[in-house]
Amino acid sequence: MHILSKLEQDKFNNFNLIRLIAAVSVVFAHSFPLSLGFVPELFPGFRTAYFGDMAVLSFFSLSGFLITKSYCKNENAYSFIEARILRLLPGYILSLIYCILLGLLVTSTNFYSYLLSAIEFFSKHILYLSVNIPSSLLGVYSDNPAPNASNGSLWSLPAEIRMYILVLFLGFFQIFKKKYFLNLFFLSACFLMYVIFLYDSHLLDRAISFILRVPFYALIKFPLAFIIGMYAYLYKKYVPISPVIFMGLIGAFFLLPYSLYLETVVASYTVLFLGFYPRLIIKKLISIPDYSYGIYIFSYPTQQALVSILKIYDPYILFALSLCFTLFIAIFSWHYIEKPSLRLKGKTKNYLLFLKSIKPA
């Protein structure tokens, strides 16, 4: 049996491959509701939506592990914020522009009205990362099986950003170094949520939606996966990486009644096991570019456009065709938008100081 702390010291892991598989799984999961209008079962008790759920849970858990590691290694708030913004925002902005351009091809309204709705769409989605509710593009995808939805994948980014803020908060107040405070913090939060749930379950829904930007209580499993990843890093000396545990959890997932907590634990441990177990490391694929973010944020509008223009109502054809188009966009985004933006790490403060030094004439 291997221990996570020893495996984590090795530079080899399968994280890029896991991200890529997770992103493709999201495309597959979305292909069914976007082409059929409902989520079917592949076999009794296993809905196609599980592919998307497990994939997004994997993203959150992996992010919790790596983001916590990043802060603990550096402990610099500015560098932490800079890195997060440079990783998420450029691709996010490009995805909004991409949605607007695709919508222009299929909108049923006039150009002027569409332009006004596009401006509102862009601005509200930027604000959506902090406080506001996003808007839809006017006259777009109204006849699709999933009507009026321009990019349903973007819902997870506000929740993810709030997890980054949580890491920043815990790190800034040195709580990571005093684990009993960390445990007390989360136990208090769980107790408070339980009390609110007993008093009014709808109030808990509204509170979680306001704080985490997840639509309802069941989606708390995604921030929970992030916290599991966070704890896995902080307690890595006590986390076993074992095929026996992995197979036991997979068996429990399929044999026991569905539970969002079990699903979250299974996905989180799967990421660690497949990412670090030595016999599963594929060294030839370690250096593959990280196209996963691009696939995730560009696939949904691509699929909606294909359904609207080509009238594709077969989920498997939609999956194959949309993945080809999306991969092309994701490759462009990585090499010309995301990767160049990441090269600015450690330099933005100099740019800000330079701009501050410029005095108006």
Digit-coded pLDDT (tens) for 215-226: 666 678 898 999
The three-state (H, E, C) secondary structure of 268-306, written as one string: HHHHHHHHHCHHHCCHHHCCCCCCHHHHHHHHHHHHHHH
Q: Which of 188-197, 205-214, 255-264 has the lowest mean pLDDT?
A: 205-214
pLDDT, residue 125, reads 92
- Is 132 a residue whose pLDDT tops 70? no
Question: What are the residue ranges spanned by the domains of the chain?
Answer: 2-357
Could you give the 3-state DSSP secondary structure of residue 300? helix
Cα-based distances in Å from 354 to 79, 348, 359:
18, 10, 10
Contact (Cβ atoms closer than 8 angstroms) between residue 114 and residue 107 = yes
Contact (Cβ atoms closer than 8 angstroms) between residue 277 and residue 4 = no
- Is 354 a residue whose pLDDT tops 60? no
- Is 18 a residue whose pLDDT tops 90? yes
Structure tokens at 144: 């699709």
Task: Give the tens place of pLDDT for each residue, 47-98.
Answer: 888 899 999 999 999 999 999 999 998 878 899 999 999 999 999 999 999 9
Q: Which of 76-90, 196-210, 220-234, 313-327 has the lowest mean pLDDT?
A: 196-210
- Is 357 a residue whose pLDDT tops 70? no
- Is 227 a residue whose pLDDT tops 80? yes
